[in-house]
């Protein structure tokens, strides 16, 4: 087997790096969206959502770093320009959103897009025997499913 320094198949690792960079791009757009929601939220739910959005963007910032470091661990190079992020991202850009319902709906929709990518990576990392990436995706998925449930409950 043509293996990486951590013992994984090089060709499978390259495929994972491509999908992880896609996830990184989507996460960066998601992070910036939530940052904007935190800054711009208005209305009767301001205090509640302002704090919640800060919690979410802080968590997202940590995940962005984890994804980039995993790409480096696999021998790849994390993308790092806004142009690349926008070109690769499926997460919609949320512009000028200040109303609570629209803000929470953007988060739910964005999490749905992230979950789809993460499930692809979860399956791919399982097939590659890449426990590091697999574990990270499993943790992300569990957390985001719970956040999605809570946000949908808030919308009800």
Residue 72 has pLDDT above 70, yes or no: yes
The mean pLDDT of 93-120, rounded to a whole number, is: 97
User: What confidence tens digit (pLDDT) does each residue in 29-48 have?
Assistant: 999 999 999 999 999 999 99
Q: What is the pLDDT of residue 79?
A: 98
How many whole angstroms separate alpha carbon 39 and alpha carbon 31? 12
Residue 8 has pLDDT above 90, yes or no: yes
Residues 52, 153 contacting (CB under 8 angstroms)? no
Q: What is the pLDDT of residue 1?
A: 59
Q: What is the pLDDT of residue 100?
A: 98
Domains assigned to the chain: 12-155 (1.20.1260.10)
How many whole angstroms separate alpha carbon 137 and alpha carbon 66? 11
Residue 124 has pLDDT above 80, yes or no: yes
pLDDT, averaged across the chain: 97
Residues 36, 55 contacting (CB under 8 angstroms)? no
- Cα angle 55, 31, 77; round to 5: 125
Query: Which tokens is 36 given?
Result: 């904007």
Residues 55, 132 contacting (CB under 8 angstroms)? no
Helix (H) or strand (E) holding 37: helix 10-40
Residues 41, 53 contacting (CB under 8 angstroms)? yes
Question: Which residue pairs from 47-56 have beta carbons closer than 8 angstroms and sit at least 24 positions apart in sequence?
Answer: 49/100, 49/103, 49/104, 53/103, 56/107, 56/147
């Amino acid at each position: 087997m043509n293996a990486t320094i951590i013992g994984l198949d090089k060709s499978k690792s390259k495929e994972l790096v491509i999908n992880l960079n896609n996830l990184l791009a989507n996460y960066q757009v998601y992070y910036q969206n939530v940052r904007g929601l935190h800054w711009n939220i208005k209305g009767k739910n301001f205090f509640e959502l302002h704090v919640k959005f800060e919690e979410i963007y802080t968590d997202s910032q940590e995940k962005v770093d984890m994804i980039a470091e995993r790409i480096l661990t696999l021998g790849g190079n994390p993308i790092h320009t806004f142009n690349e992020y926008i070109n690769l991202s499926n997460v919609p850009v949320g512009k000028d959103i200040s109303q609570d319902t629209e803000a929470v709906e953007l988060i739910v929709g964005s999490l749905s897009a992230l979950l789809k990518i993460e499930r692809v990576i979860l399956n791919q990392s399982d097939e590659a025997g890449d426990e590091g990436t697999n574990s990270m995706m499993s943790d992300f998925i569990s957390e985001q499913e719970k956040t999605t449930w809570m946000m949908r409950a808030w919308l009800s």
